[in-house]
Chains A and B, each alone.
Chain A
Amino acid sequence: MKDTDIKKLLYAHLLCIFSIILSVLIPPLFLENFSILETHLTWLCICSGVVTAVNLVLYLVVKPNTSSKRSSLSHKVTRVLKCCIYFLMSCFIFHVIFVLYGAPLIELVLETFLFAVILSTFTTVPCLCLLGPRLKAWLRVFSRNGVTSIWENSLQITTISSLVGAWLGAFPIPLDWERPWQVWPISCTLGATFGYVAGLLISPLWIYWNRKQLSYKNN
């Protein structure tokens, strides 16, 4: 039972990674002059869209939590609307946090906002898919002993590693190497992406290794 779950998790994560790789490889076939560094904003939009889509598809196919009892249409619609609002809120909150961290307030607003969008894609979208728009559940998952399934556990790991990746991405900015990727916010978006990918890879492995110690309270 558990091993099959972990396998499922692994395949889902591999699909996510694959979608990110595709978002790098496919656009040059259709768009001229596409490169991650030079047309960074385009890539950000594409990557964000692709990752969101894959997450949604995965959620519909795998259905990790089957807890929704009511399934009337209006309930579903409000749920989707709520999810959208949550996503937008998280984008704005991230944007504010970036500005508080020292990002320029007026210049490069679009860049900063798209960074917020991609970071929300890596963190908020999986949360919304898995936990739904319930803040209490989120708070529970991100605290000690609050995890109830391997899906939530992997969510915890990928979210934290995306955030840490984005944070580490800021470190090369002051260095005097004069590389094109050291410009705000490219290094941070790349860091977030690498962090997300690393989280996707690490979480199934970590769960596999620790499967003896992990005992979720609902099982």
Chain B
Amino acid sequence: MQKISVLLFLTWVCFLFYAGIALFTSGFLLTRLELTNHSTCQEPPGPGSPPWGSQEEPRACWMASRFSRVVLVLIDALRFDFAQPQRSHVPGEPLVSLPFLGKLGTLQRILETQPHHARLYRSQVDPPTTTMQRLKALTTGSLPTFIDAGSNFASHAIMEDNLIKQLTSAGKRVVFMGDDTWKDLFPGAFSQAFFFPSFNVRDLHTVDNGILEHLYPTMDGGEWDVLIAHFLGVDHCGHKHGPHHPEMAKKLSQMDQVIQGLVDRVENDTLLVVAGDHGMTMNGDHGGDSELEVSAALFLYSPTALFPSAPPEEPEVIPQVSLVPTLALLLGLPIPFGNIGEVMAELFSGGENSQPHSSALAQATALHLNAQQVSRFLHTYSAAAQDLKDKELHQLQNLFSKASADYQWLLQSPQQAEATQQTVIAELQQFLRGARTMCIESWARFSLVRMVGGAAILAAACFLCLLASQWATSPGFPFCPLLLIPVAGGLGGAVVYVGLVATIGLRLDLVLLGAVAAMCSLLTFLWKARAAWGSRKPLATLLPLPGSVRLFLLIRLAAFFSDSFVVADARATPFLLDSFILLLVAQLHWEGQLLSPKLLTVPRLGSSSSTGLPRYSGAYALRLGVGLLLCTRLAGLFHRCPEETPACHSSPWLSPLASMVDGRAKNLWYGACVVALLALLAAVRLWLHRYGNLKSPEPPMLFVRWGLPLMALGTAAYWALASGADEIPPRLRALVAGASVVLPRAVAGLAVSGLMLLLWKPVTVLVKAGTGAPRTRTVLTPFSGPPTTQADLDYVVPQIYRHMQEEFRGRLERTKSQGPLTVAAYQLGSVYSAAMVTALTLLAFPLLLLHAERISLVFLLLFLQSFLLLHLLAAGIPITTLGPFTVPWQAVSAWALMATQTFYSTGHQPVFPAIHWHAAFVGFPDGHGSSTWLPALLVGANTFASHLLFAVGCPLLLLWPFLCESQGLQKRQQPPGNEAEARIRPEEQEQPLMEMRLRDAPHHFNAALLQLGLKYLFVLGVQILACALAASILRRHLMVWKVFAPKFIFEALGFIVSSVGLLQGITLVMRVDGAVSSWFKQLVLAQQR
């Protein structure tokens, strides 16, 4: 089996999985249909002319305008309780003083002194609570859907009808200042605009100060009809420090001054709106739908009286989109076509001293216009897309016709009792709320066919992995036909599909194309496999999973179907991992591999057990197990709580050091982080030293000796700058800013160059030529005559040497005649692992830099944990001398479990608000401009760091048992004592062959790599399959958007990252193998000369 074909096979299997994931995703995460219709003045939403027609007042459109100007102040992430008035202190209750409470005193003052002029609402936000979605909702009045959540940082122009478009077409001058997300959403819509970069969440002041510079001059200048100011400081402060930081109090006080200044300046024809686009969680993040994220503040004020009554005790709860129709009608504009919000009827009652009768009529009129508009939209939408339920639509239509008829009747006989008016208003509101509810329910629409197809491809791919992994190491594996024919089948299917599409004239769908190709190649594979397999072996061998692995996989997969368990996954995974480890130890004991057989059998019978010599003592394995449990528990301390569990407290150690207030604690933590970094470095060097590879003069090892400390130094320096950025004296600012750009990039650059060196010269051995070479550590010794006995040959003479002997016997005979020439090559036995460990370390450093400082402790634990696990697993694997080599299922599943556990212990959760956006600014403190792929890459690398590291390190599972051979042999040689040693001549006492055993059987080595890859892909693949099934079966579950969909997306992305990492890890091993081969050839040529 060729190396390249192993890689091709794995790539093909990955492609099958990708095709399945893509097909499933396209069916599961559908977007809402966006209509491009527009409302216009000339075309009222329905029959029945309003009481004041357009002929009476030239500026009126659907309704006469009440305000000619609006100032909209959007304070990003202004949670409701930030603006909530603080009641005067009640003696019995403890006084709560939090940095964010009661800082907006202006609102409270106005609400108390001018109750008819102002009102505060708790506006209920629809998830996803990301800024762009909120801006879309706040201008179109519609419901942005889940899939848009991903495009937050690459927003596109809004195609739907919206307020800004209506304003510009009505000839109003719209001035904007603030968040530059608006530039992408509404290109060219503003008469004057001051955009400031929004992406840098660490920067609290640039946007706000920029706005303040222009806000009052613009207002006083009077060149505007609508003025929008979007402040970002509060949101960025939440992201950087969280709401409980003193900085938040400062920011809110600044906002309070802004509002005060605006209140002083607005004139009688102007409405002031202060709104938050969403809230924030306890940690200051947003994006999900927890109570704190979806409650935002909304404040309205006008110097003319707005409301007929005083505000209620507890502010009213209104949907956020209500602002859209309200503003439109107040400004005398048509309501945007796709709006599903409901007007705030109160605002149309006409001030303080209007008649109750006419005020109710005005309210009914506004509501009726709104209802007509929504009805028209529903009609148009249901004609264009079939996703609204017919039955509910019909009911709503009936409701609307009744309400409309009642309203007409009310118009015709104006002197109705107040009760009748209230009935009409209630009916209209009922219709509007019903329509909104129906839209919310049905805009999560699924394509079942695609979902089932995607799941089927995933299931078949998993089955393929299982089958092929079982089969790969058996000698009769028909490799080429099994790879080539399915690929040909897939290509054939794809060509047929393209042909079909071309003849029918449909649009080519890449997802479908991939799915068809995958499906065809899977079918051909199964057909081929059945032909080659079915006749010879029973089907029972298809289930090669050992019982314990099957049990744990089943538990893990079943957990994906329960929202409670998905939420508690961060706790459940370490639990499962611990159980798995203990079970491994117990199993080793049960099988009698830990203790000498004398202890285990009944003394009377004597030790006739045939288990052979145990390689490890029981205490050793137990120590490893306990060490693993301890590491897992310690890593679990870095736990981030999902928003769904209010009782749980996230670890305070996940926040960056910069957010710590206490300087002393900060310094201590900084010291601990640097110590962790150094310990990681020292551990890797110690390991390489122990196996001797550090002595090699090859460039990668030089890099490990000098480059790695440099990287650690750079990292530590960067942390120092980042954590103390606020305390720097001003004259050093520029220097520090420069350094915080250069340092991370330098570390990343060093890592890349190190990896390049490693790829260029991966063989890290020390070669010494000459007679005086010390023989105790040699792997390759001179050939000094034929071995005396067959036993010596088997045990003493290295396999590798026999290999060479067979190949180059003639040449060596000649060498021998010239006298004893010695070539001593050190560390060949660990050459593969050394390359792997070096690569992993080089990879870990940049990833470490992307995390918060204190996560470095988790990275140290990660390395320790995987080291212990590898040793424990190696304890259970007997060394196979000549192949076929296999990696047991236990090893692969424990490895995958550990990858998941590390994902959680590095402070991640599979929900969008938990993504570490900070990572995008490491090395780019000023943001990225317009490019989106680089920040996406950085954030992705941060999120999936553990997936990547464990996938790349996967081949270690195969290599490690061979590394441990040296320990086992040393232990075995000591107890037999002197008699054995005496028999062996000193020069023949060799080091064990270790990883060179793999090289001796290249065919088996390749097969084992293929098998390892397939097994790992299977374990990951069944997880993604379970996630997909859970998401599709529970698609009407209450928690689908909150829990199952994000979980699926994270698992899918994690799978892609893992599979790529796996391929790279295997490629690296193969590169080392190739280099070792050429190194041997060179050696032989050199000897020949």
Residues of A at the B interface (CB closer than 8 Å) are 97, 99-102, 136, 139-140, 142-146, 148, 167, 170, 174-176, 217-218
Contact = CB atoms under 8 A, between A and B. Distances in A.
A64 B217 CA distance: 98
Contacts of A100: 578, 626, 629-630, 632-633
B571 to A, nearest CB: 6
Given A100-B578, A146-B600, A175 B592 contact: no
B602 interface: yes
Contacts, number: 64
B565 A174 contact: yes
Contact of A167 (B565, B579, B600, B601): B579
A218 B565 contact: no
Contacts of A145: 600-601
B158 interface: no
Contacts of A148: 602
10 contacts: A100-B629, A100-B632, A140-B600, A142-B590, A146-B602, A170-B575, A174-B564, A174-B571, A175-B565, A176-B563
Contacts of A101: 574-575, 578, 629, 633
Contact of A143 (B565, B578, B592, B636): B592
A144 B568 CA distance: 36
A148 B595 CA distance: 18
B592 A144 contact: yes
Contact of A217 (B590, B592, B602, B633): B602
B659 interface: no
The 4 closest A-B pairs by CB, nearest first: A174-B568, A100-B629, A175-B564, A176-B564
B32 interface: no
A101 to B, nearest CB: 5
Contacts of A217: 602, 604-605
Contacts of B630: 100
B581 to A, nearest CB: 10
Contacts of A144: 590-592
B185 to A, nearest CB: 38
B562 interface: yes
Given A100-B630, A102-B633, A143 B571 contact: no
A207 B765 CA distance: 59
Contacts of B595: 139, 143
A184 to B, nearest CB: 11
B598 to A, nearest CB: 10
A159 to B, nearest CB: 12
Contacts of A139: 589, 595, 599-600, 618
A142 to B, nearest CB: 7
A175 B563 CA distance: 8
Interface string B629-654: 11011001000000000000000000
B529 interface: no
A118 to B, nearest CB: 19
Contacts of B579: 167
Nearest to A167: B579
Contacts of B1049: none
B600 A102 contact: no
A102 B629 contact: no
A18 B154 CA distance: 69
Nearest to B562: A175
A209 B190 CA distance: 86
A97 B578 CA distance: 10
B712 interface: no
Interface string B598-612: 011110110000000
B567 interface: yes
A176 B601 CA distance: 48
Residue from A100, A139, A176 having most chain B Cβ neighbours under 10 A: A100
B483 interface: no
Contacts of A167: 579
Contacts of B633: 99-102
Interface string B918-939: 0000000000000000000000
B767 interface: no
A172 to B, nearest CB: 9
Interface string B525-566: 000000000000000000000000000000000000011110
A167 B583 CA distance: 12
B572 interface: yes
Given A146-B601, A175-B564, A97 B629 contact: yes
B354 to A, nearest CB: 50
B589 A102 contact: no
A38 B145 CA distance: 47
Contacts of B601: 140, 145-146
